[in-house]
A and B are shown apart, each in its own frame.
Chain A
């Protein structure tokens, strides 16, 4: 008997008490002011935020960031945003991204309860860019905020192959005596640029 059959047979040997799955469609905290809550949660996880009105303003604000001004290698996944000199699609081996200083990419939506942002790597050739860059900047539509994780999953579907993640703040560790250190293996900073009038214009 194969291990698969063996394991399945052992599980099926016994009946276990069943329990219906919960209905989560209305479940979860709702905030009076989602933007405020999101910004506060983001701050608590070590991220910072900027608020601008248009994508043109976002571009300017990002160019003005210290991390961007001091960067040698910048990669942007949003056309016309930031001063990019690394074209991800022209890179064959992801290891070449080792020395990227700043990566700029879009967030699909943000979650108010925990400051997390859903990042979808669809059409992104090297997903390592999210964690290998020294600093990251996420551009997010202010209207694309949900209250909690249940509303977040209402928006997601995983029907096709791909990679996505909830990103909440810069990389961090507290493994040495519980002292929080920002910048473990991944980005040392996360700036979220909240755009008032979204990507629609």
Chain B
């Protein structure tokens, strides 16, 4: 897998675009701040959310059983899938039973994770993503670059060109209102023709057997209220104990995601429409493994609001695709190595450890601590690439030998002053790539301190 830093470098090479991307996300972050400040109880709300998730995890097996019991009472058919392959097979089976060939889907990161679309397409089915951002990236044959704003990396001129080519809009048209109208018409046809609707799940309620899906566009409700079959796919961590806990999460989710006080639609599904079928697929796909890890368990609290991405200085300047994982950004850099550490070893290093993600996370996941822990874990498992492991070994040797440390400090201070630029700023020194190294001081801290202590007799100023 290509190193994150390599892809990030490509992204920042187009400087105006990188700045545009950075600003677009910071704008969303600023809206989130305003929304959070509108509630005096914001911090308590985060605390409650974190407690509810911790409680739920402690009783997860019981709650899953309770959910299943109650859902079945409502007439829902509940399925369990160990992994992505089983999930896809279950969905395919339901669709084939109903001879479905046309499907509309509303946003679901889980089905992205399981690569459901290409799987169903291989079986001759048409799967249309109906969230506008997702539809745009689907038409471009690329994955979403953000979990809430899937097309945040695409400029309106590009959407205009894409729609001109595929939907026949006027050439050169870039007005968002006009483009959305064209997409509305195109997708209405798909909604009218669909024989089944697939959705994700934002929250499933153990106590009632129901679940909630949140959207702004109304695509979920259009997609599942016309055809006779609704399949809802969820990771087992989406469960919450009580209906009243929704109050906590719905207050946090949209405010953290886009700064809205709530999403336009928060749809509560309790059982199928009369004469129709409702299926829920509960998916593990690696989640029980994360659950077993004391270091990373809390990453399962994630409600997929995207706030940690919007605030992350690395994400904003490297773009979602540089992470090469379904969920990018800080939380993605924890979840992806949990799935395959060798493949995603560079992600925990795509982080400045500034801690901003931890500050905004509505469910109080200690994101930057987990990222740091992952770095150690990756080194321990021997997965560091040579460039990092050699350097680390060297530095650790130097740190263990005082004379060598003092001597290398002297050498560095001397070299930075006298060496020609080409010897410092070259491809072997990653730290000299996009930045000027600081001017080297003449003496080390140690020398300065020794000198100072001699002069004032080591007394502390008060």
Residues of chain A touching chain B, judged by Cβ–Cβ distance below 8 Å, are 2-4, 6-8, 10-22, 24, 27-29, 41, 44-45, 94-95, 98, 111, 113-116, 126-128, 130-132, 148-150, 152-154, 156-179, 181, 183-187
Contact = CB atoms under 8 A, between A and B. Distances in A.
A131 B151 contact: no
B243 interface: yes
Interface in B36-61: 39-41, 44, 47-48, 51-52, 54-55, 57-61
Most chain B beta-carbon neighbours within 10 Å: one of A4, A7, A41: A7
B297 interface: yes
Contact of B130 (A165, A178, A185): A185
A187 to B, nearest CB: 7
Interface stretch (B91-99, B258-266, B384-392): B258-266
Contact of B222 (A111, A149, A185): A185
Contact of B247 (A21, A44, A150, A161): A150
A128 B222 CA distance: 6
Contact of B180 (A10, A98, A173): A173
B3 interface: no
Nearest to B266: A166
Given A2-B80, A22-B48, A27-B48, A153 B266 contact: no
A195 to B, nearest CB: 23
B264 A175 contact: no
Contacts of B263: 168
Given A24-B247, A128-B226, A171-B216, A177 B176 contact: yes
Given A165-B267, A166-B250, A127 B273 contact: yes
A19 B80 CA distance: 27
Contacts of A18: 54-55, 58-59
B188 A21 contact: no
B149 interface: yes
B182 to A, nearest CB: 11
A164 to B, nearest CB: 5
B210 interface: yes
Contacts of B269: 163
Nearest to A158: B208
Contact of A114 (B65, B180, B262): B262
Interface of B: 24, 27-28, 39-41, 44, 47-48, 51-52, 54-55, 57-61, 64-65, 74-75, 80-82, 86, 130-133, 136, 149-152, 155-156, 159, 176-177, 179-181, 184, 187-188, 191-192, 205, 208, 210, 216-219, 221-222, 225-226, 236, 241-248, 250-251, 258, 260-273, 282, 284, 288-289, 291-292, 297
Given A158-B268, A183-B180, A173 B217 contact: yes
Contact of B217 (A8, A12, A184): A184
B288 A16 contact: no
A21 B270 contact: no
B68 to A, nearest CB: 8
B184 A185 contact: yes
B55 A186 contact: no
A45 B181 CA distance: 20
Given A17-B58, A158-B243, A172-B217, A166 B262 contact: yes
A183 to B, nearest CB: 7
B71 to A, nearest CB: 10
A175 B129 CA distance: 13
A131 B223 CA distance: 10
Contacts of B251: 113-114, 148-149
Given A165-B268, A178-B149, A185-B222, 6 more contacts: A17-B54, A29-B41, A157-B243, A158-B210, A163-B268, A185-B188
Contacts of B284: 3, 7, 10
Contact of A113 (B208, B261, B268): B261
A183 B177 CA distance: 9
Contact of B136 (A150, A162, A175, A179): A175
A128 to B, nearest CB: 4
Nearest to A16: B58
A18 B27 CA distance: 38
Contacts of B74: 161
B262 A177 contact: no
Contacts of B176: 176-177, 179, 181
What 7 A-B pairs are tightest by C-beta distance, nearest first?
Answer: A186-B218, A161-B271, A114-B261, A184-B217, A128-B225, A175-B133, A10-B288
A7 B288 contact: yes
B243 A162 contact: no
A131 B261 contact: no
Nearest to B40: A29
Contact of B216 (A22, A95, A159, A184): A184
Given A10-B288, A94-B225, A175-B151, A161 B270 contact: yes
